[in-house]
Amino acid sequence: MRVFVINPNTSEAFTAQIHQELEAIKRPETELTVVNPEHGPVSIESVRDETLAGPHLLELVQRANDEGYDVILLACFADPGLDAAKEVSRIPVIGIEEASLHLAAMLGHKFSITAGFRTRVPVREWHARLRGVDAAYASTLVMNMSVLDMHDKPDEAKARILELGRRAVEEEGTEVIVLGCAGLAGYAADIERELGVVVIDPTAVAFKIAEAIAELGLRHSKVGRFAFPPDKEIK
Amino acid sequence: MRVFVINPNTSEAFTAQIHQELEAIKRPETELTVVNPEHGPVSIESVRDETLAGPHLLELVQRANDEGYDVILLACFADPGLDAAKEVSRIPVIGIEEASLHLAAMLGHKFSITAGFRTRVPVREWHARLRGVDAAYASTLVMNMSVLDMHDKPDEAKARILELGRRAVEEEGTEVIVLGCAGLAGYAADIERELGVVVIDPTAVAFKIAEAIAELGLRHSKVGRFAFPPDKEIK
Amino acid sequence: MRVFVINPNTSEAFTAQIHQELEAIKRPETELTVVNPEHGPVSIESVRDETLAGPHLLELVQRANDEGYDVILLACFADPGLDAAKEVSRIPVIGIEEASLHLAAMLGHKFSITAGFRTRVPVREWHARLRGVDAAYASTLVMNMSVLDMHDKPDEAKARILELGRRAVEEEGTEVIVLGCAGLAGYAADIERELGVVVIDPTAVAFKIAEAIAELGLRHSKVGRFAFPPDKEIK
Amino acid sequence: MRVFVINPNTSEAFTAQIHQELEAIKRPETELTVVNPEHGPVSIESVRDETLAGPHLLELVQRANDEGYDVILLACFADPGLDAAKEVSRIPVIGIEEASLHLAAMLGHKFSITAGFRTRVPVREWHARLRGVDAAYASTLVMNMSVLDMHDKPDEAKARILELGRRAVEEEGTEVIVLGCAGLAGYAADIERELGVVVIDPTAVAFKIAEAIAELGLRHSKVGRFAFPPDKEIK
Amino acid sequence: MRVFVINPNTSEAFTAQIHQELEAIKRPETELTVVNPEHGPVSIESVRDETLAGPHLLELVQRANDEGYDVILLACFADPGLDAAKEVSRIPVIGIEEASLHLAAMLGHKFSITAGFRTRVPVREWHARLRGVDAAYASTLVMNMSVLDMHDKPDEAKARILELGRRAVEEEGTEVIVLGCAGLAGYAADIERELGVVVIDPTAVAFKIAEAIAELGLRHSKVGRFAFPPDKEIK
Amino acid sequence: MRVFVINPNTSEAFTAQIHQELEAIKRPETELTVVNPEHGPVSIESVRDETLAGPHLLELVQRANDEGYDVILLACFADPGLDAAKEVSRIPVIGIEEASLHLAAMLGHKFSITAGFRTRVPVREWHARLRGVDAAYASTLVMNMSVLDMHDKPDEAKARILELGRRAVEEEGTEVIVLGCAGLAGYAADIERELGVVVIDPTAVAFKIAEAIAELGLRHSKVGRFAFPPDKEIK
């Protein structure tokens, strides 16, 4: 099985990190390719960034189709460009947000998602509604840290999640925490142990679901929302 | 008041048509600019097209901000790029879909929206949910005609709306019809007379609401979902 | 264009205040009439008050129709009698609550509404549901002040909104504040500056939307929910 | 126990009919009073009619409180004036629509409600939403008959319900039919036998629930939505 | 009228307590039988317990049908086995949770339900959604006491409800409190007096509604969700 | 990895069929056990059947925990006993309905589920609501065939699904069909080819997701809804 993973931002360091994480959990027989576009924003933290990354991302989706991969993983929480990718792709495309939110809804009554800053809460909230799992959405855990800060101050990041998570468990009934920010996966085991919740690392979870879907020969439906777009002149 | 209207596709004929329609209904003192991007798809009929149009559209939003316009109208049903536009814009941005759906919910208990083909129904349905007016969404009237066909066979297009609209009134309680396809505005009066419903031409309605918002000095909130994105290296 | 504004309570001072506010923002060519019924409660703070005001209000709606006005504005938050008014009226009737809630849902992800006392929160909450914008409703800001108190102690009223608004922004993600109480419009600019949110004065916003609707020749649909009632003997 | 039943229209024939129906099912020890206002519409078929009946109805609610009744039954489907009645009343007020819709949701998965004409469907639909039982609302059975017609042509009325009910059972999964029109109660047994559904006569059902509530000493809560209104000058 | 009350746990002390409570409020002519199964858990505090009690409970439902009772009351909050009971029963079956939640939604805008421990909150929340009254569900009052503790320390239990209830009234707009735990009914009057809310004792309320339903000859619908199951070999 | 599959009915032929299907798709290193209880109904077609199967099923869940399996698959659509199983189990339990509905919501905008008879539609509908994927639920395809009939007349069964599926695609926008009845999996490829939709075989899909979850070391959260039940005397 050949899995094509797209990191939609242009940070090669981040691409390498995803590659390393997935290399460690992939099945032996799975062939793994992890790429990022050459052009576009170096990280994706707004709908503006998603918009700028979109066309470059679609080129990579096309390449995966042309080169005969079995499944595409879109490795950026918020799933930028996911619907467009499903439209143009014959092979299945899995977004790490959609896969982790649906799994979270199965593993507990309510889930919370981390976010760097308060301005991302509305996106978390309406994506839960968009994915149809809003009944299981409890809250967003706002870390008030940039991605860079999370990387530079790992102890602070972990302490923040523990504090926010504990309050969410007590006040909002959170049973599952979805890591909506990159670079937090390493803390999952500690957080699970201390809070008793389940912690979901979206990239890992979505990768395994992608393997499962490809193995079953499943794909997204091409008969309605994700039908191939009509041909079109692009100036 | 200076209104900047963006046709996000690259069809200059369509830009001219919008200009002509709005010129006829603008207030005398309103200064009107209607533009389209140089690059991108010639029409927007899929999320893929929306994705390709996105970056070019944001450049025009930036230009309107730089040149001191009072309000921006995004003149494509489905409101492609609307959230990103609101993020980067200091001045208010109005999408013709959001404005017409909210007005439709005020003017009747249930509304229906036209669409060219069945594959666009899911987009209509989840946009109604996204805009929070799903309780008032009755159905999508699927015309089974391309935009070109609607233009070439106006009598057939009108007959189709009448037939679909009549059934929607009887079977789904539709009270308002929102024209979700370009080039249908000319039939509104006839349809209103024959079916007794209210027909909403999104471009006209949104333009008037844009004038009203600008006149009141209102804008979208920059404190949460539409906050300015953090600066970012774009490769 | 001739706009007929109904203040449904019997306080002439309040009618004069509305007149003054709208006179300042109306377009030069708009002809403005602001009236109140002779009989009924002097203010409207309960559904009982709305019920008592109802029949008198409908007489004024009839008068506006008889005298050939272009649009009616119902100038009381909670929109008492709005559905009945739309039933009996051929010309469009706009309620200031419905217009401001729909606009609030366009200008931000979540809105909060002010109220004098805690007992009015349920009305705010189910009106948001009734208008179909409940996904965007964040909370009601309970001022614990009577209308009289707000008028007599303007500094206290403003301080209260700032305090409640700041908490709503931080804890509930409020991005837009709708002034659900009379006499608060003067503070909008200060609140916007201090909290970064958008503040909506329902009377002003609905008036401009009424002008827009009338200018477009739009009206509410008479084919279903707002059909003319059958003739009836009234004892 | 003393039950005060209000027919909010001014038709004495209808009041007598309710009296007769309830006399037959009341418990021996229950003391029954059935009244209608002197002024107002002779039947209630629109929100306009509800508005005109409102103030007169509130006077009767006040009278029942003054005369020490144990419970008030508001005997008009659509429950006109119910919230206002609960506000001004110390003793419990039960609306026949709210009682029958909640009971319908207990007795089957989905219910349908009859209505005279198509224009009443929106009211049925949003009342189900307002009462919070919209998940169990299947449809409205539109009889296309006036109340007078139903009275004059009982065979036709019954045949219509059977036809509409059968289709609702098959196509919409209706399991319970709520008679939303007066004068249909006599057919309940036949409809139940022929369609296998449960048929609810709102007046009878609500009366028995009113007896139960009064017997338990229960009432509506006066601490929030139905708090006594503040005193007010009424001009 | 003959009412058959099932306490689905195997605690005879609890059965006796229900018997005593209902004996005091039943109508003189009502014949009352209260039973519990011989086998199964001594109390029901988890879905596991509900599952173990299920088959024994269904035998009692069958017995009530065989012995010609008029109505069955299922006397355990959470209504374990209710849907199965309705399937196998020809005579009406009322669950105390469904009856009290629907009545609570009529008596106030929002209700709260007590629970012994935090782990029961998800059940309360999705049962409110399941019964279709989630719009009126405010919160669960978590007492952090076992049923045994509530029985041994009545003063503490009452003080806890008062404290939790007061906060719910102020912060969540609770207007009605449903006692979701056994043995709390005795405090209802005190809580009502001190908090101004309405307190619902589910067993009493559901019993009176059961009497009302039986008196009207009503039953649950057998045409869909509660149809008799097909015959089946049980190994 | 050791997977424990529970067929909750007592039909050994059906157990063998599941075993054969999963044997063909399991990974080589996966160790597969498929069992059914000794006692209980031979098939599960009602909530009564689910109730009778419940206690026997829980014993098997306990056995899988005692014997150190990695994950449990509950192989009966409708997921009977799933919540109780999650309560008592330390190791993850996956229901084939929950897994397939969540996956269906990812692979298309709307899904339909097959059912044998009309009386099962309410269960399909409220399970979609219970699992929080109701926005993606389009309809239930009612085959009007017993499980036995489907087995004896495979051509008729397949023709029925094609007919119902085609109508669902056209009228309800169905993009994915979930096979909610046993023994239909063999037709999936033909249906996909003829209708263009995606067909989901719940047992296969859930098995692969169970493998993925076990491989990641994930489990359901034990901190709230699925906490271990308190110890209890079982008479």
Q: Looking at this predicted complex, what is its ipTM? A: 0.95
Subunits touching B (CB < 8 Å, at least 3 pairs)? A, C, D, F
Q: Which residue has the higher pLDDT, B188 or D84?
A: D84
Nearest-Cα residue of chain A relative to residue E121: A173
Please report all neighbours of E, defined by 3+ CB atom pairs within 8 A: A, C, D, F
Those chains having 3 or more beta-carbon pairs within 8 angstroms of chain D are B, C, E, F
Place of tokens 């007078």: D148
Residue pLDDT, tens place only, A92-105 = 999 999 999 999 99
CB contact under 8 A, E126 and A110: no
Residues contacting residue C11 through CB under 8 Å, at least 6 positions apart: C36, C42, C43
SS3 assignment, position A89: coil
> Residue C116: is it exposed, middle or buried by C-beta count within 10 angstroms (0-12/13-18/19+)?
buried
- Given this model, what pLDDT does residue A209 score? 97
Contact D102 E105 (CB under 8 A): yes
Question: Residue C229 contacts by C-beta under 8 Å, 6 or more apart in sequence?
Answer: C87, C88, D45, D46, D47, D48, D49
Q: Do E25 and D215 touch (CB under 8 A)?
A: yes
Q: Is the pLDDT of residue A183 over 80?
A: no
Beta bridge partners of C198: C176
How many other CB atoms are found less than 10 A from the CB of residue E154? 14
pLDDT for E114 equals: 95
Taking CB atoms and an 8 Å limit, are F109 and B118 in contact across chains?
no
DSSP code, position D4? E
Q: Are D25 and D207 in contact (CB under 8 A)?
A: yes
* Contact between E173 and C126 using a beta-carbon 8 Å cutoff: no
Residues of B in contact with D118 (CB under 8 A): 170, 173
Are B119 and A224 a contacting pair at CB < 8 A? yes
CB distance from F228 to chain D under 8 Å? no
Q: Is E134 on the interface with A (CB under 8 A)?
A: no
DSSP β-ladder status, A137-142 and A111-115: parallel
Tell me whether residues B110 and D122 touch, CB distance under 8 A.
Answer: yes
Please give the share of chain B, as a percent, with pLDDT higher than 70: 99
Q: Which residue in chain F is spatially nearest to A103 when comparing CA positions? A: F102
Asked if A195 has any chain E CB less than 8 Å from its own CB, the reply is no
Strand ranges for chain B from DSSP E: 2-6, 31-35, 71-74, 93-95, 111-115, 137-142, 176-178, 198-200
Percent of chain E with pLDDT over 90: 84
At E35, the pLDDT band (50, 70, 90 cuts) reads: very high
Q: Is A186 near chain E, with CB under 8 Å?
A: no
User: What is the rounded average pLDDT for all residues in chain A?
Assistant: 94
Residue D223's pLDDT band, with cuts at 50, 70 and 90, is very high
Interface touch E224/F118, C-beta < 8 Å: yes
**pLDDT tens digits for F49-100?**
999 999 999 999 999 999 999 999 999 999 999 999 999 999 999 999 999 9
User: Which residues in B121-173 belong to E strands, given as ranges?
Assistant: 137-142
The nearest CA of chain B is from the CA of D161 a distance in Å of 18
Determine which of A107, A109, A133, A169 to mutate to test the interface with E (most E C-beta atoms within 10 Å).
A109
All residues of chain F having their beta carbon less than 8 Å from the beta carbon of residue E146 are 230
Question: Do D7 and D18 form a contact (C-beta atoms < 8 A)?
Answer: yes
Query: CB–CB of E129/F232 below 8 Å?
Result: no
Mean pLDDT calculated for residue range C123-147: 91
Question: Which residues of D fall within a CB distance of 8 Å from E196?
Answer: 221-223
Q: Is the distance from CB of F87 to CB of F153 less than 8 angstroms?
A: no
Q: Does D173 contact F126 at a Cβ distance shorter than 8 Å?
A: no
Strands in E13-147 per DSSP E: 31-35, 71-74, 93-95, 111-115, 137-142
User: Model-level pTM?
Assistant: 0.96
C142 and C118 Cβ atoms separated by less than 8 Å = yes
Give me the residues paired with residue C72 across strands: C4, C93
Contacting partners of chain C (3+ CB pairs under 8 A): A, B, D, E
Residues 142-181, chain E: which have Cβ within 8 Å of C?
A: 170, 173, 175
Q: Do E and C touch, counting CB pairs below 8 Å (3 needed)?
A: yes
**Number of inter-chain CB pairs under 8 A, A vs B:** 115
Q: Shortest Cα distance from E235 to chain D (angstroms)?
A: 31
Query: CB distance from F65 to chain E under 8 Å?
Result: no
Confidence of residue F146 (pLDDT cuts 50, 70, 90): confident
Report pLDDT for A188.
84
Residue E13, chain F, CB below 8 Å: the answer is no
The candidate with the shortest Cα–Cα distance to F178, out of F124, F101, F119, is F101
Q: What does the pLDDT average to over B61-89?
A: 97
| Residue E234: pLDDT band with limits 50, 70, 90 | very high
Please write the tens of the pLDDT for every residue from B159-206.
999 999 999 999 999 999 999 876 777 788 889 999 989 999 999 999
Q: What gap in Å lies between CA B185 and CA E107, rounded to an integer?
A: 49
A touches which chains (3+ CB pairs under 8 A)? B, C, E, F
- Residue partners of F229: CB distance under 8 A and separation at least 6: E45, E46, E47, E48, E49, F87, F88
For residue B25, how far is the Cα from the chain centroid? Answer: 16
For residue F187, the model assigns a pLDDT of: 81
Contact across the interface for F122 and E224, Cβ inside 8 Å: yes
- Asked if residue D181 has pLDDT above 80, the reply is no
CB-CB neighbors (< 8 A) of B175 in chain D: 122
Question: What residues form DSSP beta bridges with B82?
Answer: none
Which of E46, E47, E117, E125 is most worth mutating to test chain A (most A CB atoms within 10 A of its CB)? E125
Distances (CA, A) of C160 to C74, C188, C191: 27, 13, 11
How remote is the C-alpha of F205 from its chain's centroid?
Answer: 9
Q: How far is CA A48 from CA A40, A43, A73, B98, C232, in A?
A: 11, 11, 22, 19, 58
Say what the pLDDT of residue F225 is: 96
Contact F51 E55 (CB under 8 A): yes
**How many whole angstroms separate alpha carbon E51 and alpha carbon E89?**
19
Find out whether B190 and B158 touch, Cβ atoms under 8 Å.
yes
pLDDT class for E13, splitting at 50, 70, 90? very high
Q: Inter-chain contact B41–A10, Cβ cutoff 8 Å?
A: no
**Per-residue burial over C10-40, b = 16 or more CB atoms within 10 Å of its CB, e = otherwise:** bbeebbebbbebbeebbeeebebebbbbeeb
Nearest to F218 among A107, A135, A221 (CB): A107
From first CA to last CA, the distance across chain D in angstroms is 37
